[in-house]
Every structure is written in structure tokens, then in C-alpha cells.
Structure 1
Amino acid sequence: MNALDQKINTHFPGLVVRKDLVKTVKGNAIVPSYVLEYLLGQYCATSDEASIQTGIETVKEILRKHYVHRNEAGLVRSNIREKGRYKVIDKISVALNEKTDNYEAEFSSLGIKKVLVDSGTVKAHPKLLVSGVWCIADIEYEFAEDKSASPWILSTLKPIQLSHFDFDAYLEARKQFTIDEWIDLLVQSVGFNPELFGKRSKLTQLVRLIPFCERNYNLIELGPKGTGKSHIYSEFSPHGILISGGEVTVPKLFVNNASGKIGLVGYWDVVAFDEFAGKKKRVDKALVDIMKNYMANKSFSRGVETLGAEASMVFVGNTQHTVPYMLKHSDLFDELPDKFYDSAFLDRIHFYIPGWEIDIIRGEMFSDAYGFVVDYLAEILRSLRNHDYSDRYKEHFSLSSDISTRDRDAINKTFSGLMKILYPQDGATKEEIEELLKFSIEGRKRVKDQLMRIDTTYGSVQFSYLDASGKAKPVTTLEEREYSNYYHKTVGGGEEEEPEYVGASEEAGTAASSGPVPPEPVLKEQHLTFQENQKGISFDALLGPYLRGAKRITVTDPYIRLFYQVRNFMELLETIVKNKAPEEEVALRLITTEDEFKGPQQNDHFEKIKDSAGAVGVDFTWEFDRSGTIHARHIVTDHGWKISLDRGLDIFQHYDMNDAFTIANRLQQYRSCKAFEVTFIKSRA
């Protein structure tokens, strides 16, 4: 275990589990992760390897004996008959039989129906009445001559979820972690390796948890396939339900007027709509209208009666086009069904997760470290629904008066949710609060900016916040900075020029040119700032113009050791080759440090680069700094430019460099970058 894993086990004993164990025990059991982690939490919530192995075998044995596979249901029913009593793990739903005035259970995989359930059990676990609950149950068999009587008897029933927890102990334990450690713990709890995500990407993952801890929170996430959009809502919590966007009806979601039975919003904390996108999907307009009212007012009408509920709404779907294509030809809501492509409906959404910023899930992204047993975290998040953290920024900041009440409510709910997740114990610094406030504003701004493209009756809004001195700080979305030429056009606003590559953020004081890219860019001293997950960045565009014409180039970077770092250097060499005349030669020198453990392999990589570079007119040499004092990372040319890189060449986030068929592997501009800064300085000599 690393230091963080040890700390997690110290402060949350018995409440954490190694995340790779779920795959180990799952086998072919078609059960949600929280069911498996519930069992693992009973037997494997420890850091002792021997106990873990014993616990794994115990859980496997429990699943082997008691989980009901549909194709083995007949055998299990026979076991119940022969033994008289048997324990099963199955998804159980209950319905009221009005003819007999009895509650009757149906076992999904076991295939038995009309099992009598006492009213006390139903009152204790009302979710049994809606869509079913995973349970551990004892079933008895008693044959009766009466053909109308079911031989199956429900002896005991225990929903698979945490029975109790100590919230105060949770807050005290949280105080023992730095914010970076806490974020990594939460990311590991969701199942991902935090080392492969930047800070912004981690926050984006955690926004998916807000519907579980914030009442009536409306979230949408649209992006490419395979980014794990629906995973949390189907696998993470027993308090959320994932349904297909095409299957929902007014009675199922809200209320059945004929029976008076309340729908999903009355029983679940989160109702998530999977596969929500798709222009040709048929949608009931009455459903859209009642959803609009519910999302705005937390209530819905049943004839003459108005009912309220607290379920958060989540909409996830796949996009078919790239972001610049959508911004040029339509908008970021373009994939939605026509009935939902309604400005009044979309205005109810509190946050738009930019799914295109999230990497397609790869095997290496899953964690084998420790995280909360998800059921424990689910209960914590549920208890936080009773708290309100939306005012925690008001001591330091205020929202611009230009922001409407609906926009303000959306920002406050997102901010409150993030504070609950990250700082439930309070104690956030002014800088940490500001980071979450900006992130919350950006998510709502993404919604409102698209609404202004769709419906011209929406007026322009300046999304900004003010510090204590009254200074306004504007907030922009990442795609607004990347594709500023297209971002602010309205639908049907005509064609525009292709956007020029722009590296810097607005904070650096640069903007995209609407004209064609000049063949020979004017070089100038400047400082550029780049945001995490920004794309469109390459060594060719960023550094190439400043390296053109140089005969001697010196690169100083202490971190050209590991394979991916050496590969970054090789890509810089490619840029140098592209920017030199074929008849010219360039001397390229690298000053770095030798890897303590893999020095021979490092030298071997450099030898191969030297041989390759020599064939195209680049004389590559290198030296290892033995003093251990080099920290600055920069590139110096003999024609007067010094390029200071705060991250050196390590500006790109992890991508699958072993897959030759991934575009990001071949073209830098399609990779997400890390947050970094670069300064171009002209020598005065």
C-alpha cells in the first residue's frame, strides 16, 4: 500500500475496500457494484492481505450458493423445496393485490411470484413497491392444497444497504486529509485511478455525485460513447435508479392517476435517464411539460392535487459530432429529441458536464487502491441532502447582479454540492472556495450560452463574480476559449471563418483571430496560460515558430527519464525537423538528470534518438546534470529566444500511446492537456 492507502485504512477502518476486488468476485453475477461491495465490506474491509484472501473466498462462496442465476432458478427452487428454507440474493419487487388486500413479492431471477409480504416490511422499505430492491432473503416452501395459495413464504428480508453510520466520525476523519488526498480518495471510491486524471477531470467526475447529495438537482452530460456516463447511476448507489430514456412515462415517473400510485420521483433520490440523446426518439409532450414544472418547482399535479418530491434528475446521452462541428452548425444540445429541445426545459438544468472532456474508459484507468465501500459513501451523500452549503462563498465573493435568479440558484446548488462532497467539515480556504465557485458558474454558463443560441429572446448575461474589493472576475467555458469564433454565433447566423489555433486563455490576454492563419507568424514576447483539458495544442503550433531558423537549440528539463517523457522529447525533435530547411543542420542538446533505477534504458533511448536524428540533419547530444540543482525547464535558441515552460515538455494528459489506431496517439492537437504556462522571452544581447 502507498501512504494514502495506509492513511485511508487508519482513519476509516472497516469502511473501505480494495477496488479491484469487485472484479475478482463478480464472475458472471449480474449484480450492481454496490451489492458486491456490500458483501466485500462485510468480509474484506481490511488491509490485512490474508484476511482479504479469506474474505474473497467467503464472498465467492456466498455468491455461489445464494446468488440466483436465471438459468439455475429451477435448481434453486428445488433446493428451497427440499430443504424447506433457503437464503437467496435477488432483486425483489412488491405490489399490492387489491383483490386479496395483500402485498405480494416477485423475485426477478428466481422467477417466483405472489410471495406474501407483511405490511411492516413494506412500510420499512417502500422502494420495494417501485422497480425493486436487491435483498438477501430467506424463502420457505410449504405446499398447500388450496390452489390459490402460494407455497412460497418470505421468512426474512434484508435490503442490501448500510444499516447505520456515524456522520460525526466521518467529519472528524475528513479533517485528517488534505484536499488533494480527499479528492483522490473519492476518485478511488468511484473506481478510478486518480493518477491518470488532472484536477479539473477529477472535479468533473465528482460532479456526477452531486445529485445524490443535493435535492432536486438537474444535471445533464452529453459526450462521446464509452466515457462512463451512466456507470455511477446504475452501479454506485442503492438510492439511485437508471432507466432508459425511451421507456419512461408520466405514470411511471410521477403518478398514476387511475391508482394514485406515486412514481419513481417519490421513492428514489436520483432518477437518471440513460440514452437520452437521439433526435428521432418519440417523446410524450405531456411528459416534457410535467417534467418542466417538476424541475422548476419540485412539484407535479395529480388532477386537483399537487404533490412534491425531492428526486434529482440526470440526463446522459451520446453525441455524434465534435464540439467545433456542433458549435458551427447547431449547438451543444443538438442531439436531444425534438420535444426536449425546448428552451424552457433546458433552462431548468443546473449544470452541463462537458462529456467531450472525459477520456474513453481504458483498463488502466481503473483503481486497485482503497476507496470507500460505495454503500457507505452513498449513505453519507444521502445524509448530506439535509444540509445547505450554498452560502459558504458569500464571505469572500458575490455573484454579478447581471446573473438571473434561475442562474443564481443553479450556481448555488452546484457549489453547495461540491462543498458537501469536498469540504463537509468546512475549513476551505478562500482560494479553494473560489475554484469551486468558478467551476459551478462555468457549468451553468454552458447551459445559458446554448440557450441564447437556440432562443434569441434570452438576453446576454455576463457570468462573473466579485471579490471583497468589488473587482469583477469573468468566467468562461473551456470550449469558449478553444473555439471563440463559433461559440457566440446564433443558430442560422451564417458561416464563419475557420478558427485559428489559439493556445492562451483569456486570462493571458489573447483571443482568436477571425482571419486566416498568417504564413509567417509575428513572434513576440508573451506569457500564455493554458487550462486543464484544453485541446488544439501542439508543439508545432506552440513552439515551432520560435524554433524556426535556429542552428543550436538547448533543452533543459530534469524530467526526461520515463518512456512517455522521452517520447515527448522525440515529438519536440519532430517539430524541430519540420521547421528546418532540408539543407540545414541543427545542433540539439538536452540537459537532464539520470534516472536512478533505469539509467541504462534511458541512455539506450537517447542513443536511438541520436541515430534517428542524425539521418535528418539534427546532431543530438545529451548530458546528465550531476549537481542535482536543475529545476527550471526551458528551451534556448542561438537566434535569441528563451522559452520557459513551467511543466517542461510534460504538457499532455495520459493517453493510450500503445494504440496505433488512436488519433490522440498520432496528433497532439487531439490530446487533452494539463494546466500549464509558457513564457517567450527575447534576448537583449
Structure 2
Amino acid sequence: MKPLDKKITEHFAGLVVRKDLVKAVKGNAIVPSYVLEYLLGQYCATSDEESIQTGIQTVKEILAKHYVHRSESGLVRSQIREKKLRKIIDRVSVDLNDKEDVYQATFANLGINKVAVPASTVKKHQKLLTGGVWCIADIEYQHNEDEKSVPWILESLKPIQLSSFDFDGYLDARKRFTTDEWIDTLIQSIGFNPEAFGKRSKLLQLIRLIPFCERNYNLIELGPKGTGKSHVYSEFSPHGMLISGGEVTVPKLFVENRAPYKIGLVGYWDCVAFDEFAGKSKRVDKALVDIMKNYMANKSFSRGIETLGAEASMAFVGNTQHTVAHMLRHSDLFDELPPKYHDSAFLDRIHFFIPGWEIDIIRGDMFTADFGFVVDYFAEILKQQRNFDYSHLYTPHFQLSEQISTRDRDAINKTFSGLVKIIFPNQDATEEELEELLAFAIEGRKRVKDQLMRIDQTYADVRFAYVRPDGKELLIKTLEEDTYPTIYHKSGDPSDEPIETTAKSTDVSAAMSKPAGSPEEGHVTVKENQRGVDFDTLFGPYVQGASKIVLTDPYIRMFHQARNLMEFIETVDKVKSDDQRVEVELITSEEEFSPEKQLEFFEQIQKNCLPSGILFSWGFETGIHARHIVTDTGWKVLLDRGLDVFQKYEMNDTFTLANRLQKHRACKAFEVTYLRQ
């Protein structure tokens, strides 16, 4: 077991589960992960392999015996009639039959309805009235000659949710983890492998959780298909409801327009998420947009003569069809929304815009087989924290720019508070850690405001910045702003002249646009998740014309690192003339555990490069720290990460552009400095 898994199982005994077990037990049962993990938490919340296997078998038997498949509903009803079965797992919804003054349940998969439910049960579990809840229920069948009677009798009903938890114990256990360990624990709890994500990508995943722990939080995520945008809202918490963006109505979401005013989803769920929210051709009810705008701004809505309040957060997720550059050049980053939602007043209510284009399409290696919280347990922790407000924690150290409006300030504070709840529930973050979360919260709101300025020219420019304790002001930029400086601040009119906002010496986009063959001294900074970077433009001009190149990088050991080396040599091959011989010498450290594999990589590179006139050699040194490229033409290129600048990508898929072209890969954060010796 990994050290982190040992720590998790030690301090959260009985509250964690190995995440790959969900797939092992799910089979063809169409149930959310929190239902399966609830069952796994009863039988597999242990690190003992034998107990886990026994627990898996038990859960499989429970699902096989009690979960109702729609295709087998007739058989299950027959078994209940014959007294062979009484306990079932199904999605149950309840309605009030006001003519008979009784509550009646509908069992989605079993296919029965009008089953009488005690008022006490409904009062205890009111979410039964709004869309349904997964439950374990005991049902009996008793036929009656009365045609109006229903033969199905509900003996007991228990929603599949954690009954109790120890919040103080949670806070105490959190103290045993470093910040990085805790973030990785949370990522594993969501179901992902933290090794497949950089720090920024992990924070983007955690932003998705804020609607569950922050009241009236409005979040939007737009990006390519297949990035897992709706996963958290459909699978992670019994307190969230995922609905199709085109299927919601005012009565369903807010309240019926007739007395008695029956409140909708926002009155019962912590988070209401709208799936498939994008789509220009979608028909949208203008009345719904208007009441939603009021609710998102004021936490209340009016229907009839009454004003009602609610605490549900809202999350909007949708797919984009175009690249970021295309949207910035021709419209804005909200371009895919239906026209009635592509409205500045509505979008101004959004607290954070998750850039879905930064999140990779889900691959197999992104899922974890390690331990994480039983999601129902963590869902209750998040729900408990809705009562807290941590937005004040940064104020002793940092001050927001006075130009930031009240609405912008509220958005930043809510995001900051949510991240603190998730990562630092004990409010014990260092000043540096608080600054990182504050900058991230500002960027998410700035992304919204920058697009509003494209949509509505009446919005004034805002200086999104904060002041450090030493009085220095730090200006925040979005990643898109750094990547596309010449079109980011362009208005929606394609005829407008682009505005350059970033100095070329520190902007990677400017560095990427430098003409080949004109190397200059300077410095390039690349942010995590930035794309558009390749070795040809980073190094090509600086190795051109060299006959001897020495690369010093202590970490050329694993396959992906050797591949980076090969791609660097490909750049050398592209810029040299056909009749030129170039020596490329690598100085690195020897692999401790499998040196023979490392040697095999180098020997293959050496053999295959020789016919092209590239003489590759290598040498091992111990204690190497510096990473750089030195040429006999007088250039020294300092590399703070060496050649290992790209995040994980699918190297086994020939038909993935990221496999073929470096510019399509997401980068790690790194810096390169060019010096003339």
C-alpha cells in the first residue's frame, strides 16, 4: 500500500474505500457511485485484502438480489407477491394526492405507483418530493377486492445516505496531512489518480465541489466533450441534482404559480446542476431566465404575491464546439450558450468560470485504484460546511484592488471561502497558501468579467489585482490572456485592432511567435495547463548552426523522459543542414532500479540518429542539480524543469494529436532563460 493510502486508512478507518471497487461491483446496475460506495462502505471499508474480496462478493449479492432492473421489474413484482422477496433498491419519488390527502410513492424501476407513504417518512426525508431519492425499501403485496386500493404496502423506507458523522473527528484527522497529501486525498476521493494532474488541474477539479459546501454559489464550466464535467453532480453527492438544461421549467425549479405555492428543486437540494447547458439552437423560456437572474443575485424569487428564499447553488455545464482562439477572435468564451442565456445580466451572476478546455479528455490512467473517502461521508462533510464563511481569512494579509466592484468582490470571496473549506477546514493555511487560493479565485471571476466586456460594451474595465503585505500590487491574468495576448482583449468586432497586453520577454506566446533563426536573450514563463508550446520554437533558434550541444538533465530515466530527449534531437535535426554533423551529448544521472532499461533507451537513440548525422552520446554524473543546454555557438539555455515540461498524455494512441504534436499537450509550469555566453 502507498504511504498516502496507509495514512488515509489509519486516520479515517471505516470511512474510506478503494475506488476501483465501484467498477468491480457495478456490473449493469445503473446507480450513482454514492449508492455503490454506501454499500461498499458497509462491507469494504478496510485495507485488508481478504475482507475486501469478501465485501465485494457481499455487495454483488445484495445488488443481484435487491437492485431492480427495469427489464426485470415484472419478475421482481412476482417475487414480492409470492413472498420470495421484500427488500429492494430503487429510486423512489413521492407526490401528494391532494384529493385523498395522502402521500403516494412511485418506484422508478419496479414500475409501481400510488404506494401509500406515511407522512412522518415524507417529513423526515423531504427530498422524496423533488425528483426522487435512491432508497432501500421493504415492500409487501396484499391484494384487496376494492378496486381503488393499491396492493403494494410500504413497510419501511431508508434513503441510501450516511446516518451520522463526526465533524470534529474529521477536522482532527485533517491535521495529520500536509496540504499536498490532503489535496491528493480529495482527488482520490473523487475517483481520480492525482499523479495524472498538476496542481492547477487539481484545483480545477476541487472547484467543482464548491456548490456543495457554499450556499448560493453560481458556477459555469464550458469545454470539450468527455472531460467529466457532469460527473461530480450526478455521481458524487446525494445532495445534488443533475438535470438536462432543456428539461427544466419554472415550477420544477422554483415554485408553482398557484396556491399553495409548492417550492421546487432549489428548496430541497444543495446543488442544482444543468447538464448540456450549451447549444445555440436550444429553446429557452425567457420567464425562467428572468426568475433565475433574480434568484442568482438575491437568493430569492417571487411567485404570486409571495417572495421565497432558497440556498441551492447552481452549476451550469456544457460543451464547446470551437477552440479558445476561435472563440476569442470571433466572439467570446460564452459563445456556445443559447441566446437567452448569452445575456450579460445573467452571466454577471456567475461567480467562477471553469475553463473546461484546460481539462484533458478522461483517459484510463486518470482513474485511481487507491483509497478515498466514501463519497457519501465526504458529501455530508461538505454539507455541514455550508454553515461557515471563511471569506475573511485573507484580509489580514491581502487587500483586493479598490477597483473591484461589490459583485466581483462577492464572487471572489465565495470561491475563496469554498476552497478554504475543502482544503483547509481548520483555517490553518499559511500566508503563501492563502495567496494561491485568492489568486485562483480572482482569475475565475476575471474570466467571467473579461467576456462580459466583449458582450456588453457598457461594462467598465476592472483592475483585478490584490495588494500584498509589503504594499506591492499583483495583477492577475487568466491563462487565456497569457496564451493569446493579441486577441484576448479584442472586442467582438473582428475589425478591431488587437491590443498587446504582455511584455514579450515574459510571455510565452510572444516567444512562440519569434521568427526562427533570430535567437535573442530573454526569459519565458509558461503556466500550468498552457498549450501551444513546442521544442522547435523553444530551442530551435538556439541550437541552429551548432556542431556541439551539451544537454544537462538529471532526469532522463523513464520512457516518457527518453521520449522527450528524442523529440529534442528531432528539433536539432530539423534545424541542421543535411550535410552537417552535430554532436549531442547528454549528462544525466543513472537510474537506480533499472539502469539496463535506461541504457537500452540511449543505445536505441544513438543507433537510430547516426544515419542522420547526429552523434548522440551520454555520461553519468552524481549530484546534478542544474538543467541547461549549452552550444558551441555561445548559447546557454537554462531549464528549471529540464525537458520534462509536458503533462501526461496518451502516448499509446497514434490518432491523438497530443501524441503527434507537442503544441497540443498541456504543459507543467516552467521557465526558460536564454543567455549569450
1:679 equivalenced with 2:673 (yes/no): yes
1:630 Cα offset (Å): 1.4
1:11 equivalenced with 2:11 (yes/no): yes
Answer yes or no: is the 8 Å Cα contact 1:497–1:514 preserved in 2. Answer: no
- Partners of 2:5 and 2:573 in 1: CA distance: 45
1:167 equivalenced with 2:167 (yes/no): yes
- Helix, strand or coil for the counterpart of 2:576? coil
Residues 624-654 of structure 1 show CA distances to partners (whole Å, capped at 9, x for unaligned) of 22xx211221111111111121111000000
Q: Which residue of 2 aligns with 1:428?
A: 429
Rate the CA distance shift 1:376–1:474 in 2: closer, same or farther, 3 A. same
Report matched runs for 1:123-142 at 5 Å: 123-142=123-142
Q: Which residue of 2 aligns with 1:300?
A: 301
Report matched runs for 1:384-403 at 5 Å: 384-403=385-404
1:222 equivalenced with 2:229 (yes/no): no
- Partners of 1:630 and 1:140 in 2: CA distance: 73
Rate the CA distance shift 1:645–1:522 in 2: closer, same or farther, 3 A. closer
1:260 Cα offset (Å): 1.8
Residues 347-369 of structure 1 show CA distances to partners (whole Å, capped at 9, x for unaligned) of 00000000000000011110000
Q: Which residue of 1 aligns with 2:549?
A: 553
Report matched runs for 1:231-630 at 5 Å: 231-258=231-258, 259-494=260-495, 509-510=506-507, 517-524=514-521, 526-625=522-621, 628-630=622-624
Q: Which residue of 1 aligns with 2:207?
A: 207
- Helix, strand or coil for the counterpart of 2:222? strand
Rate the CA distance shift 1:497–1:417 in 2: closer, same or farther, 3 A. closer
- Partners of 1:514 and 1:614 in 2: CA distance: 31
- Partners of 2:513 and 2:203 in 1: CA distance: 36
- Partners of 1:298 and 1:318 in 2: CA distance: 27
Rate the CA distance shift 1:165–1:550 in 2: closer, same or farther, 3 A. same
TM-score, normalised relative to structure 1 = 0.97
- Partners of 1:665 and 1:506 in 2: CA distance: 31
Rate the CA distance shift 1:508–1:241 in 2: closer, same or farther, 3 A. farther
Q: Which residue of 2 aligns with 1:96?
A: 96
1:681 Cα offset (Å): 2.1
1:84 Cα offset (Å): 7.2
Q: Which moved more, 1:85-94 or 1:219-228?
A: 85-94
- Partners of 2:538 and 2:506 in 1: CA distance: 16
Answer yes or no: is the 8 Å Cα contact 2:69–2:110 preserved in 1. Answer: yes
Answer yes or no: is the 8 Å Cα contact 1:84–1:140 preserved in 2. Answer: no
Q: Which amino acid aligns with 2:344?
A: S
1:520 Cα offset (Å): 3.4
Answer yes or no: is the 8 Å Cα contact 1:485–1:512 preserved in 2. Answer: no
Q: Which amino acid aligns with 1:194?
A: P
1:412 Cα offset (Å): 0.2
- Partners of 1:667 and 1:331 in 2: CA distance: 26
Answer yes or no: is the 8 Å Cα contact 2:630–2:637 preserved in 1. Answer: yes
Q: Which residue of 2 aligns with 1:635?
A: 629
Q: Which amino acid aligns with 1:436?
A: L
Residues 455-511 of structure 1 show CA distances to partners (whole Å, capped at 9, x for unaligned) of 000000010001123221100000000001110011115166799xx9xx8696448
Q: Which amino acid aligns with 1:153?
A: I
Residues 215-254 of structure 1 show CA distances to partners (whole Å, capped at 9, x for unaligned) of 0000000000000000000000000000000001101100
Q: Which residue of 2 aligns with 1:666?
A: 660
Q: Which amino acid aligns with 1:116?
A: A
Answer yes or no: is the 8 Å Cα contact 2:485–2:499 preserved in 1. Answer: no
- Partners of 2:150 and 2:503 in 1: CA distance: 70
1:597 Cα offset (Å): 2.9
- Partners of 2:13 and 2:252 in 1: CA distance: 41
Answer yes or no: is the 8 Å Cα contact 1:645–1:677 preserved in 2. Answer: yes
1:596 Cα offset (Å): 2.5
TM-score, normalised relative to structure 2 = 0.98
- Partners of 2:140 and 2:515 in 1: CA distance: 81
Q: Which amino acid aligns with 1:620?
A: F
TM superposition outliers: structure 1 runs of 4+ over 3 Å: 495-499, 505-520
Answer yes or no: is the 8 Å Cα contact 1:136–1:160 preserved in 2. Answer: yes
Answer yes or no: is the 8 Å Cα contact 1:214–1:312 preserved in 2. Answer: yes
Residues 174-225 of structure 1 show CA distances to partners (whole Å, capped at 9, x for unaligned) of 0000000000000000000000100000000000000000000000000000
Q: Which amino acid aligns with 2:195?
A: E
Q: Which amino acid aligns with 1:421?
A: I
Answer yes or no: is the 8 Å Cα contact 1:93–1:106 preserved in 2. Answer: yes
- Partners of 1:51 and 1:38 in 2: CA distance: 16
Q: Which moved more, 1:85-94 or 1:35-44?
A: 85-94
- Helix, strand or coil for the counterpart of 2:612? coil
Q: Which residue of 1 aligns with 2:68?
A: 68
Answer yes or no: is the 8 Å Cα contact 1:592–1:623 preserved in 2. Answer: yes
- Partners of 1:349 and 1:550 in 2: CA distance: 53
Q: Which residue of 2 aligns with 1:187?
A: 187
- Helix, strand or coil for the counterpart of 2:116? strand
Residues 137-159 of structure 1 show CA distances to partners (whole Å, capped at 9, x for unaligned) of 00011111111011111001100
- Helix, strand or coil for the counterpart of 1:163? coil
- Partners of 2:102 and 2:493 in 1: CA distance: 60
- Partners of 2:298 and 2:472 in 1: CA distance: 34
Q: Which residue of 1 aligns with 2:51?
A: 51
Gap runs ≥5 in structure 1: none
- Partners of 2:633 and 2:395 in 1: CA distance: 51
Answer yes or no: is the 8 Å Cα contact 2:267–2:312 preserved in 1. Answer: yes
1:528 Cα offset (Å): 2.5
- Helix, strand or coil for the counterpart of 2:220? strand
- Partners of 1:463 and 1:543 in 2: CA distance: 34
What percent identity do the matched residue pairs reach?
A: 68
- Partners of 1:514 and 1:673 in 2: CA distance: 15
- Partners of 2:42 and 2:357 in 1: CA distance: 38
1:297 Cα offset (Å): 0.2
- Partners of 2:557 and 2:517 in 1: CA distance: 34
- Partners of 1:576 and 1:497 in 2: CA distance: 34
1:32 Cα offset (Å): 0.3
Answer yes or no: is the 8 Å Cα contact 2:542–2:635 preserved in 1. Answer: yes
Answer yes or no: is the 8 Å Cα contact 1:265–1:309 preserved in 2. Answer: yes
Q: Which residue of 2 aligns with 1:119?
A: 119
Rate the CA distance shift 1:131–1:592 in 2: closer, same or farther, 3 A. same
- Partners of 1:597 and 1:518 in 2: CA distance: 43
Q: Which amino acid aligns with 1:242?
A: L
1:410 Cα offset (Å): 0.2
- Helix, strand or coil for the counterpart of 1:273? strand
Q: Which residue of 1 aligns with 2:34?
A: 34
Q: Which residue of 1 aligns with 2:20?
A: 20
- Partners of 1:398 and 1:530 in 2: CA distance: 27
- Partners of 1:280 and 1:25 in 2: CA distance: 40
CA RMSD of aligned residues (A): 1.7
- Partners of 1:119 and 1:219 in 2: CA distance: 36
Rate the CA distance shift 1:142–1:120 in 2: closer, same or farther, 3 A. same
Gap runs ≥5 in structure 2: none
Answer yes or no: is the 8 Å Cα contact 2:630–2:636 preserved in 1. Answer: yes
Report matched runs for 1:143-158 at 5 Å: 143-158=143-158
Q: Which amino acid aligns with 1:48?
A: D
